[in-house]
């Protein structure tokens, strides 16, 4: 090492001023620079409007995707202050838009509670936008300020007079294409979050508009029933056993609202929120609810003699099977922990929730004995099914099918044992499995071929699921166990990759696998361990040159580089008698093949296109909105046919390359 490189002094310390830190390391502030981070920009702006609503000053929020793909978020709150900030010597509006952690939510006189997961505020949106414009209605005037990549174009100015009662804020921004991988907003992603916020805040109306197409799309969300309607929305495809139970009140300065009901399904779905943030990892508010639910129902069942004819001991899991519940608490100073900072750590919140649920649920059960009896009967049926599942699991273990140390014979394992450096391909069919086994890198890639389609777990009880050979093979290979036995520390592979054919059967198998993983190994999805392989759709060969395309656009780009007009290709396909086609129906000198199955690729092709970490494309599976994901799986894989038919009709226009 040279003497020069050893020099380390004050001049080596770089200070990023203003919003430079955000622009240099955007993922630290919004999670990532992909689609999720892009949509988080909207959430940050909307969070400010929600804070105004929680404080009682706003009841309407509008989110618009404009024709130029910029986004406008407006509300009828008090409007961001525009007067001179006493310490900064510039307008408060400019401070809010250019200084991190500046805003009214840090002053509890302005906001008792506030949302926003990262707490970074609208200044980060400004920093990551090519341009941003703010209009503020307050003090009888319309104020305007514009920014370019976070920097003010000019000071705030009044552009017109208004009636004094008119107040509100409108922010319009265009994401910086030099920072984000994509600047394409998805309307479905936006409305999913806005719908969720409308359920959680029943006094608010949220209007969503997409103006990019000739006919604009519009959704209006306002739910007077709040969480009760939320629970009914989540379970719209299921049969409830009773009307939702609503528990609301305040304990220890913590407003608490909970709605739940039981349905005829087998799984438990509890969605918890703190200050409108979905706490995916739960936390103290969830512990408090579970503890109170078990204790109160157990006491009620014992006191009313509802357990006297059974030898089965009810557990907390029995009391939650078939339960759909939404918990929403408002905490003044939330302390988040966990991998994704979505686990509440405030110990006082547990006792607050527990106390309120104990009181209110006991009152409800005494006043509604018929509902109480239905719930306990459901719990007893759950306990019996759980006991049958336990016996099936024990039997399977005795046969070594679920023992992670006795792996399924068809698994071609890898030689490295460190999970962080290993990956497993779950492959459709023996043919593709054979190619994958020959083409893989044996050091770190394991192959598990599946025979046929696995069981649809959405329609089956756990003891039936454990009898399915393909599911048992997956459980044994992955190593974590499922359901109550799940332990992510026993995971044998850092990446679990689903590799199925690009046809209808392949899509169905992939959906069956995702349903199983979502219902019984959801932690793997939450920890980013599940991926979907992207085998190519097309092989283009010209002489000794061979190219692979993953979609039509990439195929057409390759053809253009070969000096072939893709439109000409379509014309040739329509007129097979064309002189430019050879006897096989291909353009002379060029062979275009469309793969329908992985088995059509030889091991070398499968490796180079789909399995080589240097060249492959993998899609990571994540859940952006758990309630909507739950509804989607129930729609696609549940018993009801009508919702599935409506889903297909609505989404048929997006289908490409349908193979039947």
In this prediction, residue 633 carries a pLDDT of 83
44 is catalytic: no
Q: Does the structure show a pLDDT above 80 at 463?
A: no
Confidence tier at 230 by pLDDT (50, 70, 90): very high
In this prediction, residue 546 carries a pLDDT of 82
What is the C-alpha separation between 236 and 193, in angstroms, rounded?
18
Q: Does the structure show a pLDDT above 70 at 601?
A: yes
Which residues, 6+ apart, have CB-to-CB distance to 537 below 8 Å? Answer: 502, 549, 550, 551, 552, 555, 594, 595, 657
Q: Are 461 and 440 in contact (CB under 8 A)?
A: no
What is the C-alpha separation between 289 and 268, in angstroms, rounded?
14
pTM given for the model: 0.75
End-to-end CA distance of the chain: 65
Instruction: Return the minimum-mean-pLDDT range out of 14-18, 122-126, 234-238, 436-440.
Output: 14-18
503 is catalytic: yes
Q: Does the structure show a pLDDT above 80 at 328?
A: yes
Q: Does the structure show a pLDDT above 50 at 300?
A: yes
Confidence tier at 12 by pLDDT (50, 70, 90): very low
3-class DSSP assignment, residue 130: strand
Q: Does the structure show a pLDDT above 90 at 540?
A: no
In this prediction, residue 645 carries a pLDDT of 62
Average pLDDT rounded to a whole number, residues 179-200: 92
Instruction: Please enumerate, as own/partner, the contacts of 4-11 that have beta carbons within 8 Å and a separation of 24 or more.
Output: none
Q: At what angle do helices 347-367 and 369-398 cross, to 10 degrees?
A: 120
Closest among 401, 387, 374 to 467, alpha carbons compared: 401
Q: Are 99 and 123 in contact (CB under 8 A)?
A: yes
394 is catalytic: no
Average pLDDT rounded to a whole number, residues 86-92: 82
Confidence tier at 168 by pLDDT (50, 70, 90): very high
* Pair of tokens at residue 502: 């690009």
In this prediction, residue 9 carries a pLDDT of 40
* Pair of tokens at residue 260: 């739940």
Domains in the chain (CATH in brackets) are 20-221 (3.30.565.10), 227-393 (3.30.230.10), 419-535+620-654 (3.40.50.670), 538-594 (no CATH)
* Pair of tokens at residue 400: 């070594």
Instruction: Please enumerate, as own/partner, the contacts of 99-108 that have beta carbons within 8 Å and a separation of 24 or more.
Output: 99/18, 99/123, 100/19, 100/21, 100/22, 100/124, 103/48, 104/51, 105/51, 108/332
Confidence tier at 200 by pLDDT (50, 70, 90): very high
Closest among 362, 368, 331 to 347, alpha carbons compared: 331
Average pLDDT rounded to a whole number, residues 433-441: 91
Percent of the chain with pLDDT over 70: 83
Q: Does the structure show a pLDDT above 80 at 659?
A: no
* Catalytic-labelled residue, pool 505, 523, 600, 624: 505
In this prediction, residue 381 carries a pLDDT of 83
What is the C-alpha separation between 586 and 584, in angstroms, rounded?
6
In this prediction, residue 351 carries a pLDDT of 94
Confidence tier at 170 by pLDDT (50, 70, 90): very high
318 is catalytic: no
Q: At what angle do helices 626-637 and 227-234 cross, to 10 degrees?
A: 30
Confidence tier at 316 by pLDDT (50, 70, 90): confident
What is the C-alpha separation between 279 and 343, in angstroms, rounded?
5
* Pair of tokens at residue 498: 């689903």
Q: Does the structure show a pLDDT above 60 at 161?
A: yes
Closest among 599, 554, 651, 283 to 438, alpha carbons compared: 599
Q: Does the structure show a pLDDT above 90 at 538?
A: no
Instruction: Return the minimum-mean-pLDDT range out of 477-481, 603-607, 649-653.
Output: 649-653
At 330-383, the pLDDT tens digits run: 988 888 876 556 789 989 999 999 999 999 999 999 999 999 999 998 888 888
Phi and psi of 581, rounded to 5°? -100, 145
Q: What is the CA 277 to chain-centroid distance, rounded?
A: 13
> H/E element holding 618?
strand 618-620
Instruction: Return the minimum-mean-pLDDT range out of 80-89, 367-376, 442-451.
Output: 80-89
Q: Are 589 and 542 in contact (CB under 8 A)?
A: yes
3-class DSSP assignment, residue 606: helix
* Catalytic-labelled residue, pool 503, 557, 600, 624: 503
Residue 78 Cα distances to 53, 146, 169, angstroms: 10, 20, 8
In this prediction, residue 36 carries a pLDDT of 85
46 φ/ψ sector (left φ>0, alpha ψ -120 to 50, else beta)? alpha
What is the C-alpha separation between 273 and 271, in angstroms, rounded?
7
What is the C-alpha separation between 194 and 186, in angstroms, rounded?
13
Tell the burial category of 357 from Cβ atoms under 10 Å away from its Cβ (0-12, 13-18, 19+): buried
* Catalytic-labelled residue, pool 62, 413, 501, 628: 501
* Catalytic-labelled residue, pool 428, 458, 470, 628: 428
Confidence tier at 274 by pLDDT (50, 70, 90): very high
* Pair of tokens at residue 606: 């499968």
In this prediction, residue 172 carries a pLDDT of 96
DSSP 360-373: HHHHHHHH-HHHHH
* Pair of tokens at residue 574: 């329509």
Average pLDDT rounded to a whole number, residues 176-198: 91
Q: Does the structure show a pLDDT above 50 at 1?
A: no
Confidence tier at 437 by pLDDT (50, 70, 90): very high
Q: What average pLDDT does the chain have?
A: 83
In this prediction, residue 20 carries a pLDDT of 78
Which residues, 6+ apart, have CB-to-CB distance to 395 below 8 Å? Answer: none
Average pLDDT rounded to a whole number, residues 545-571: 74
DSSP 418-466: -GGG-EEEEEESHHHHHHHHHHS-TTTEEEEEE-SPPP-GGGS-HHHHT
What is the C-alpha separation between 496 and 409, in angstroms, rounded?
18
Which residues, 6+ apart, have CB-to-CB distance to 66 below 8 Å? Answer: 72, 172, 211, 212
In this prediction, residue 248 carries a pLDDT of 94
Average pLDDT rounded to a whole number, residues 594-604: 81
Instruction: Return the minimum-mean-pLDDT range out of 183-192, 502-511, 584-593.
Output: 584-593
Q: Does the structure show a pLDDT above 60 at 571?
A: no
DSSP-assigned beta bridge partners for residue 272: 327
Residue 438 Cα distances to 265, 414, 531, 616, angstroms: 42, 13, 21, 17
Q: Percentages helix, strand, coil for the chain, rounded to the nearest 5?
A: 40, 20, 40
Confidence tier at 101 by pLDDT (50, 70, 90): low
What is the C-alpha separation between 367 and 198, in angstroms, rounded?
30
Average pLDDT rounded to a whole number, residues 295-319: 86
Side-by-side strand order, sheet with 495-499: 445-450, 423-428, 495-499, 530-533, 618-620
* Pair of tokens at residue 510: 């992939």
In this prediction, residue 132 carries a pLDDT of 95
Could you identify the residue written with the tokens 């805003």? 103
In this prediction, residue 25 carries a pLDDT of 79
In this prediction, residue 343 carries a pLDDT of 86
Closest among 193, 251, 248, 208 to 226, alpha carbons compared: 248
Closest among 344, 358, 328, 331 to 254, alpha carbons compared: 331
Q: Are 231 and 80 in contact (CB under 8 A)?
A: no
Burial 95-105 (b: 16+ CB within 10 A, else e): bbbbbbebbbb
Q: Does the structure show a pLDDT above 60 at 569?
A: no
* Pair of tokens at residue 570: 């379509």
Q: Where is pLDDT greater, at 543 or 401? A: 543
């Amino acid at each position: 090492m040279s003497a020069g490189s050893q020099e380390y002094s004050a001049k080596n310390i770089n200070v990023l001023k203003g919003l430079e830190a955000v622009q240099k390391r955007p993922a630290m502030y919004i999670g990532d620079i992909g689609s999720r981070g892009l949509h988080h920009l909207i959430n940050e702006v909307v969070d400010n409007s929600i804070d105004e609503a929680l404080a009682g000053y706003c009841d309407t929020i509008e989110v618009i995707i404009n024709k130029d793909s910029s986004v406008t978020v407006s509300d009828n709150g008090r409007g961001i202050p525009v007067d001179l900030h006493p310490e900064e010597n510039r307008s408060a509006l400019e401070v809010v838009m250019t200084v991190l952690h500046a805003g009214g939510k840090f002053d509890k006189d302005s906001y008792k509670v506030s949302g926003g997961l990262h707490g970074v505020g609208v200044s980060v949106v400004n920093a990551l936008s090519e341009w941003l414009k703010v209009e503020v209605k307050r003090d009888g005037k319309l104020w305007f300020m514009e920014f370019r990549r976070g920097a003010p174009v000019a000071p705030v100015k009044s552009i017109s007079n208004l009636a004094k009662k008119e107040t509100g804020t409108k922010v319009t921004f265009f994401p910086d294409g030099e920072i984000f991988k994509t600047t394409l907003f998805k309307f479905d992603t936006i409305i999913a979050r806005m719908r969720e916020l409308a359920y959680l805040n029943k006094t608010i109306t949220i209007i969503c508009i997409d103006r990019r197409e000739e006919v604009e799309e519009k959704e209006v969300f306002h739910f007077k029933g709040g969480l009760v309607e939320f629970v009914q929305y989540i379970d719209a495809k299921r049969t409830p056993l009773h009307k939702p139970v609503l528990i609301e009140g305040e304990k220890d300065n913590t407003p608490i609202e909970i709605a739940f009901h039981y349905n005829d399904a087998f799984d438990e779905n509890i969605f918890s929120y703190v200050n409108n943030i979905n706490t995916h990892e739960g936390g103290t508010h969830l512990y408090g609810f579970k503890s109170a639910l078990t204790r109160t129902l157990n006491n009620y069942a014992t006191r009313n003699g509802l357990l006297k004819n059974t030898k089965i001991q009810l557990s907390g899991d029995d009391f939650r099977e078939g339960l759909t519940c939404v918990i929403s608490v408002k905490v003044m100073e939330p302390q988040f922990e966990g991998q994704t900072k979505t686990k509440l750590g405030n110990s006082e919140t547990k006792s607050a929730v527990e106390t309120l649920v104990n009181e209110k649920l006991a009152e409800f059960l005494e006043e509604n004995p018929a509902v109480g009896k239905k719930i306990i009967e459901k719990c007893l049926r759950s306990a019996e099914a759980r006991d049958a599942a336990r016996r099936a699991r024990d039997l399977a273990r005795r046969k070594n099918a679920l023992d992670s140390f006795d792996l399924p014979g068809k698994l071609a394992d890898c030689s490295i044992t460190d999970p962080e450096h290993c990956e497993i391909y779950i492959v459709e069919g023996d043919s593709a499995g054979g190619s994958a086994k020959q083409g893989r890198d044996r050091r770190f890639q394991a192959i598990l071929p599946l025979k046929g389609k696995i069981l649809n777990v959405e329609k089956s009880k756990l003891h039936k699921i454990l009898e399915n050979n393909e599911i048992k093979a997956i459980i044994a290979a992955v190593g974590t166990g499922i359901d109550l036995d799940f332990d992510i520390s026993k995971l044998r592979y850092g990446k679990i990759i689903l590799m199925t054919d690009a046809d209808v059967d392949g899509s169905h198998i992939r959906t069956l696998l995702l349903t199983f993983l979502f219902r019984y190994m959801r932690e793997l999805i939450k920890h980013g361990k599940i991926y979907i392989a992207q085998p190519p759709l097309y092989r283009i060969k010209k002489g000794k040159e061979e190219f692979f395309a993953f979609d039509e656009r990439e195929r057409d780009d390759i053809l253009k580089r070969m000096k072939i007009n893709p439109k000409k290709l379509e014309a040739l396909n329509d007129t097979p008698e064309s002189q430019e086609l050879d006897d096989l129906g291909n353009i002379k000198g060029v062979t275009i093949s469309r793969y329908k199955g992985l088995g059509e690729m030889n091991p070398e092709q499968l490796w180079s296109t789909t399995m080589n970490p240097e060249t492959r494309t993998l899609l990571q599976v994540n859940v952006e909105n758990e309630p909507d994901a739950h509804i989607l799986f129930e729609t696609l894989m549940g018993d009801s046919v009508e919702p599935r038919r409506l889903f297909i009709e609505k989404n048929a226009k997006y289908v490409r390359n349908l193979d039947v």
